[in-house]
Structure 1
Amino acid sequence: MHLAYVTSYNVLDHSDWPENLVGLRGAGYHLAQHLEKQSVQLDYIGPLKQEYRFINRLKRKFYRKFLHKVYACWADPAVIRDYADQVSRKLSSSTANIVLCPENAQTIAYLECKQPIVLWTDAPQTVLIDFYSIFSNFCHESKRHVYALEKAALDRSKLVIFLSDWAAQNAIKIYGINPSKVRVVPWGANIECNRTYEDINNIVESKNTRSCRLLFIGVDWLRKGGDTSLHVAKELNKSGLKTELIVVGSEPPTSEIFPNYVKFLGFINKYTTEGIKQINELFCTSHFLIVPSRAETYGHVFCEANSFGLPSIATNVGGIPTIIKDGVNGKTFSVNSRVEEYSTYIASLISNYSEYKRLARSSFHEYQSRLSWEVAAKTAKQLIIELV
């Protein structure tokens, strides 16, 4: 099998990946690595230039200054057509028989090519409007552009793969696409894993059973529920369970002084030797990953936690329920759940450590059976073979 692997960024060079896109771009990298391990030949069609014209910048300024709205230059038809032209030129020298885009729809929305197109993405971008803060306050023109480009991409694609049932159902409902060409295949953990069940048992047995360490990872404090995580840690300490909260990636937008059981480590780049060593240590020594997001299309960090047998505490929003199954690899709560509900659940597992150990082993099983890149690549390869 020979794929043209279309991305707007350089898959093989993580040095220029912005912090807020490390998850998405890391996914593109790990997927490529595991497809090649499946003997799939890849032609890397990227990076691509994102060029905003004078009229794009003028519109953005006009909407912001006079209408107090956001004009999304990245969704402008001229920008999308330019992406298609760049991809088309690069495809002209490729002998690939399938085009795979493991990103959002922009790069292939207006692409005319002889090869069947496969789009593998986290969620329709239309559902992100007013769901993510960076997609908030769009002007009507940009909303139309987002819908049009995504509709074009979905219509052109012979196969559309989403990461969650939530995303797939929304795409079918919003765009009326044929369900027969839609599949759900979760992405894996953006972290290498050669751990065994014996390793997981050793990790779990070595943890302190008289205290609790919560690990929060996220670059957007509010959207990822950092404030909720903090309140949960406070409640657990108040109830008598000594609890530590480790925060990786972001800090709250406040000058508040925090208790000494909260430790802020900042952004950790797991694509460096020191960074991956530090991340691995945190996953091994924590009792729970806690990321109670207010909005989330997926969440690679949950897959990463599973690869260490680390149960996850999260919310049942967006694509998270496809990853986290209650009582299997953690628990999801409503966005409106009280802090006491979180703390009661956590404390009950720490006090009943045999049940915690069962949950930890089950979490690792979920990683091995459906939340690894190896499984994702094998599943996708079989789906794509059927198109050839």
Structure 2
Amino acid sequence: MDICFLSYLNPFDIKSWSGTLYHMTAFLAKQNTVEWIGDNVVSQSYAYRSKVEYYPEFYAQLYGSILSERINRYNFDVVIVRDYFLGAYLDVSIPIIYIGDTTFRLFKDNMSLPSKEFEETADEIERKMIENADSVIFSSNWAKESAVNDYSCKKEKTHVVEFGANIPALSEYEIDIRTDACNLVYIGKEWQRKGGVKVLDVYRLLKQEEIRCTLTIIGSTPEYKLEVDNDLIIIPHLDKSKKEDLDKLGQILRKSHFLILPTKFEPFGIVFCEASAYGVPSIAADVGGVSQPVREGKNGFLLPPLATAEDYAEKIKTVFSDKESYLKLRASSRHEYETRLNWDVWSEKVNKILEDTVENYKKKNG
């Protein structure tokens, strides 16, 4: 199948969207031909902006016109749209697939909205994009329900397919790990939003109760100076596109007992897939779409959004104190990765959706 992949970010760059676009297109390309379109449309329109501040949402109709003409010149079988402002006004003679992890209605409270005009425009573009798509694929039921309830999306054209871990498939992981000390790991760039302060408090509480533990912080630096602590490791930046950094991440996860992420908002959370790949259960906040990758009691536990550091520390103590149950949790975490949270499973499900969508489109349009 010849796929037109519509995105303003380069999907062949492993750093785009934390590697998610790269893995999407790489796994689709195993059975299809994938061509990226949209690389220069946004940048070109910037030169002709009519507003001082530039937001691509205000140019969605222009993008639709330009991209429709380009796409209709070629013999693609289907177009996959990643960015709603690129696909809302497409007028093409092939089926349109919209892929995402959230909707504007869900996301808007976690962004700085420049104006009421922007909010209304973006919300309408989301509605148009969902309406214009022949099939819509979200990474969580949370996002799917918003599409159905907030944007009147037809249930029959809406699908849920979990994303995968943005790391190479691996066979080196440990289930029967040593439990003489509890090794915690936090991974996240946005220290405040991802709950970094609470993670530090959890670590300190466990220490105060004389529980042997370590904490590795990856991707962030605490916003205040910390006392010297040999059990606290801070890695401000780790680039998975570099082999040495990817190996380092693997070494850390292989020795970790829990991924802890009391995040305030998360549409999905690729990091939960990556932890599961190493058999590491997650302790996370039940917000956004987190309950999709993290299944209660299978590859982790979910706590209420307002759960305290004491609540997290108590959950870790309870789970970790029963070694037999904890090791079973590690095994089931790895099983969740093998059966759900990897890109092979994602591409198998998405390819089936593509095939069915194209077939239904041909039946409908002749």
TM-score norm. by structure 2 comes to 0.92
* Corresponding residue number in structure 2 for 1:7: 7
1:163-178 mapped onto 2 (5 Å cutoff): 163-178=139-154
1:34-183 mapped onto 2 (5 Å cutoff): 34-37=27-30, 39-50=31-42, 51-52=45-46, 56-58=50-52, 60=53, 73-76=55-58, 78=59, 80-101=60-81, 103-130=82-109, 132=110, 135-183=111-159
Q: Give RMSD over aligned pairs.
A: 1.8
Q: Is the 8 A contact 2:105 2:146 kept in 1?
A: no
Q: CA deviation at 1:116?
A: 0.7
Q: CA deviation at 1:255?
A: 4.1
Instruction: Check 1:43–1:54 CA distance in 2 against 1; reply closer, same or farther (3 A cut).
Output: closer
Q: Distance in 2 between matches of 1:184 and 1:229?
A: 30
Q: CA deviation at 1:258?
A: 6.3
Q: CA deviation at 1:149?
A: 1.1
Q: Distance in 1 between matches of 2:292 and 2:169?
A: 21
Q: Distance in 1 between matches of 2:120 and 2:336?
A: 39
Gaps of 5+ in 1: 61-71
Q: Distance in 2 between matches of 1:236 and 1:49?
A: 52
1:285-300 mapped onto 2 (5 Å cutoff): 285-300=255-270
Q: CA deviation at 1:170?
A: 1.1
Percent identity, aligned pairs only, is 28
Q: CA deviation at 1:90?
A: 3.7
Q: CA deviation at 1:374?
A: 0.6
Q: Which residue identity is paired with 2:11? A: V
Q: Which moved more, 1:348-357 or 1:162-171?
A: 348-357
**SS state at 1:305 partner:** helix
Q: Distance in 2 between matches of 1:168 and 1:115?
A: 23
Q: Distance in 2 between matches of 1:56 and 1:173?
A: 34
Q: CA deviation at 1:31?
A: 1.4
Q: Which residue identity is paired with 1:170? A: S
Q: Which moved more, 1:89-98 or 1:326-335?
A: 89-98
Q: Distance in 2 between matches of 1:266 and 1:192?
A: 22
**SS state at 1:213 partner:** strand
Q: Which moved more, 1:82-91 or 1:356-365?
A: 82-91
Aligned residues: 356
Q: CA deviation at 1:335?
A: 1.5
TM-score norm. by structure 1 comes to 0.87
Q: Distance in 2 between matches of 1:318 and 1:349?
A: 24
Q: CA deviation at 1:259?
A: 4.2
Q: Distance in 2 between matches of 1:251 and 1:156?
A: 43
* Corresponding residue number in structure 2 for 1:63: none
Q: Distance in 1 between matches of 2:71 and 2:87?
A: 12
Q: Distance in 2 between matches of 1:137 and 1:75?
A: 12
* Corresponding residue number in structure 1 for 2:362: none
Q: Is the 8 A contact 1:88 1:112 kept in 2?
A: yes
**SS state at 1:320 partner:** coil
Q: Distance in 1 between matches of 2:41 and 2:300?
A: 41
Q: Which moved more, 1:343-352 or 1:178-187?
A: 343-352
